[in-house]
Amino acid sequence: MAEVQKIHGIHAVQALIKARPDHIVNAWMDRQRKDAKLQAIKQSLDEVGIRVDYVDKKTLEKLSSNANHQGVLLTAKLPQERTEEQLKKALKEQQDQAFYLVLDQVTDPHNLGACLRTALAAGVQGVIVPKDNACRLNATVCKVASGAAELLPVYRVTNLVRTLKYLKTEGVWVSGAAGEATKDVFEAELTGSVAIVMGAEGKGLRSLTQQQCDQLIKIPMSEKVESLNVSVATGIILYEVLRQNQRSLNS
């Protein structure tokens, strides 16, 4: 049986209904709340065939473990992570240019959720994470991702080095972000099929991971700033990939 998460708050609930209504198990709403936003959520739940149980505010607080529920709470199945074999199948069936994000031992669920949300917005086709020392898809990740965890495939692989080698045999250009790199991200070649590899919070890319990258790139920064949060850095680099590919298509 799939693990169940609690989804609360208007934006998170709306995102789940839109992205994966089939994952919803139960729904509760505050019977005293009659505002337009909750009425719209009720209508959306009716449209996808989910029955709403109306309860008082005290009961909703108990069900949500005193979270900021904003009058609505869902329980939903967690999205399922995908396997290394599914990644290989996706690459073999790829019709257009590949665009993947690789996260090397990112353990913070807020960072993973933010990376998923940005990756989906930038058009990434999948996120690759190692089996060990990396955050799993959980309720916190899904809430921060605001629907992206339900839409974007997350592939958990046994050996990240081996997977990077495989990506390269499939014609994917692997670029790793590293503070010690000499190449500026805005000067690097990031067109075609690419995988962007980002390191863990504070530690960056492991040396073995760096060795498998076709190039190492860095984000230019003021001397007053030592480093950026991994989700912020991910956003900058992914959108540079997007910019370069759009420019290439238009030229």
Is 58 in the same domain as 176?
Answer: no
On whether 219 is known to bind a ligand per the annotation, the reply is yes
Q: Are residues 25 and 96 in the same domain?
A: no
Q: Is the pTM of this model over 0.75?
A: yes
Q: Are residues 125 and 224 in the same domain?
A: yes
Residue 209 reports pLDDT greater than 60:
yes
Q: Tell me the three state secondary structure of residue 82.
A: strand
Range 61-85 average pLDDT = 91
Does 46 share its domain with 160? no
Q: Are residues 171 and 102 in the same domain?
A: yes
Same domain (yes/no): 172, 150: yes
The last residue of a domain, from among 77, 93, 113: 77
Does one domain contain both 137 and 231?
yes
Given a cut of 60, whether residue 219 has pLDDT beyond it is yes
Tell me, what's the pLDDT at 1? 45
CA–CA separation, 18 and 35 (whole Å) = 20
- Residue 249 confidence (pLDDT): 76
pLDDT at 251: 65
Using one digit for the tens of pLDDT, what is the confidence trace for 14-42?
Answer: 988 988 899 899 999 999 998 999 999 99
> Can you give the pLDDT at residue 231?
95
CATH number at residue 17: 3.30.1330.30
Q: Which of 56, 77, 98 is the last residue of a domain?
A: 77
Percentage helix, strand, coil for the chain under 3-state DSSP, each rounded to 5: 40, 20, 40
Q: Is 238 annotated as a binding residue?
A: no
Is 137 labeled as ligand-binding? no
| CA 77/CA 22 separation, integer angstroms | 9
Contacts of 199 (CB under 8 A, 6+ apart): 104, 105, 176, 177, 178, 205, 206, 209, 230
Q: What is the mean pLDDT of residues 225-232?
A: 87
Residues 27 and 115 in one domain: no
Of 77, 105, 133, which residue sits at a domain end?
77
Query: Which H helix or E strand runs over 127?
Result: strand 126-130
CATH of the domain at 244: 3.40.1280.10
Where is average pLDDT lowest: 81-95, 120-134, 180-194, 219-233? 219-233
Structural domain including 117 reads 84-250
pLDDT of residue 7: 87
Helix (H) or strand (E) holding 21: none
